Amino acid sequence: MRVLFIGDVYGPPGLAAVQAYLRAERDNYDFVIANGENCAGGFGITRAAFRTLRDAGVDVVTMGNHTFDQPEAAELLEETPRLVRPLTYPRGTPGVGFVTLPTRDGSRITVGQVMGRIFMEAMDDPFEAADAIVEAAGPEGPVIIDVHAEATSEKRVLGYHLEGRASAVIGTHTHVQTADEALRQGTASITDVGMTGVEYSSIGMRFEEVYHRMRTKQPRRFRPAVGTATLCAVALTLEGRRARAIERIRWHAGSPIPSSHALHGRRT
Ligand SMILES: [Fe+2]
C-alpha cells in the first residue's frame, strides 16, 4: 500500500500546492493524509479549507495546537471523523483523536495524532495516547501516528516508543523538513515532515511582522506569506502493519514533479 503524508498545509499557497500535486499524483497512492492545522491563513481550519483538501483527494486531515483557532472547528470536528485532532486533548473535547477507514486497495488504515508536552501547552501523556491508538487499531492494518510536537527529542523518543508497533511515526508542527527518515522494526519515522507553504517566510508567516515583534518586543499582527508554496511530504510503502520504505518529497509548485527514483529515502 502506498500512503502519502503531506506536511503542515499553510494558507492559500499551501492549499494550491496540494491541489496541483494531487492532480498529477493522487492515482499513485491508496491513501492520502495531510496536516491542516495552518490552512486557514496560519491559524486553524475552516469548513471551506477542509473541503478544498478533501476535494483535492486528501482522505484524512490532522490538526494540532491550532485545532480550535477558528470558531467553526468544533462543529466541523463533530461532523466528520476525517478531521483528526490530537488524542491528548482533555476528555470531552469535540472530535476524534484517531480514525480507522477503508483504503483504495481494500484494507483498513488507522490514522491518529498525539501532541508533545515539551515547550507546548500542557496536555495528556502522548505515550499513553499513542498506545491507545495502537490498541484501538487491533492487530491488522497500517497505523500512522502524527506526532505534533516542538522538541526534536520528544518526537524521536515517541518514534522509539512505537517501534515495531506503528507503521509510521510522522513529526509535524516545526515546519522544516528533517533529513532523518528511518526504518526500524517495520516502523518508518521522520522528526518533521516539513511545511507545505511559502518557504521564504518565518515558517509560513511574512518575515516583516515577525521580525518587528522579535526586534522590538511590540506586538504586530502576523500575516501569512504570499507566493508559490513548496510541498513537503513523505511517501510510505507499507505491507500490512510494516513499513517497507519512506521517501521524502520536497516539491516547489510549478516545477516538474520528481519521479519516485529521484526521491530521498530509506527502503528495506
Ligand atoms: Fe502546530
Report which residue type is found at 129. A
Tally of residues, the chain:
268
Q: How many CA atoms lie within 13 A of 61 on its CB side?
A: 30
* d(C-alpha 178, C-alpha 194), whole Å: 7
Helices 126-137 and 152-161 cross at an angle (nearest 10°) of 40
Q: How many CA atoms lie within 13 A of 125 on its CB side?
A: 5
Distance in Å, CA 162 to ligand 1 centroid: 21
Report whether 129 contacts 145 (CB < 8 A).
no
pLDDT for position 261:
66
Mean pLDDT split into 10-residue runs, the chain, 268 residues: 97 97 96 97 96 98 97 97 98 97 92 98 97 96 98 98 98 97 97 97 96 94 94 97 97 88 81
pLDDT for position 241:
97
* d(C-alpha 232, C-alpha 175), whole Å: 9
pLDDT for position 119:
97
Distance in Å, CA 114 to ligand 1 centroid: 11
Residues identified as active-site: 66
Q: Give the Cβ contact number of residue 107 at 10 Å.
A: 15
Distance in Å, CA 120 to ligand 1 centroid: 9
* d(C-alpha 27, C-alpha 233), whole Å: 16
Cell of 124: 495528556
* d(C-alpha 242, C-alpha 94), whole Å: 31
User: Whose CA is closest to 223, among 232, 239, 237, 210?
Assistant: 210
Distance in Å, CA 155 to ligand 1 centroid: 13
Domain extent, residue 23, equals 2-267
Surface-to-core class of residue 89, CB atoms within 10 Å of its CB (0-12 exposed, 13-18 middle, 19+ buried): buried
Distance in Å, CA 115 to ligand 1 centroid: 9
Distance in Å, CA 98 to ligand 1 centroid: 17
* Domain CATH code at residue 98: 3.60.21.10
* d(C-alpha 189, C-alpha 202), whole Å: 25
Q: How many domains does the chain have?
A: 1
- Spatial neighbors of 219 by CB under 8 A, at least 6 apart, are 213
pLDDT for position 263:
82
Report whether 6 contacts 58 (CB < 8 A).
yes
Distance in Å, CA 187 to ligand 1 centroid: 23
* d(C-alpha 77, C-alpha 65), whole Å: 14
* d(C-alpha 170, C-alpha 168), whole Å: 6
165: three-class secondary structure by DSSP: coil
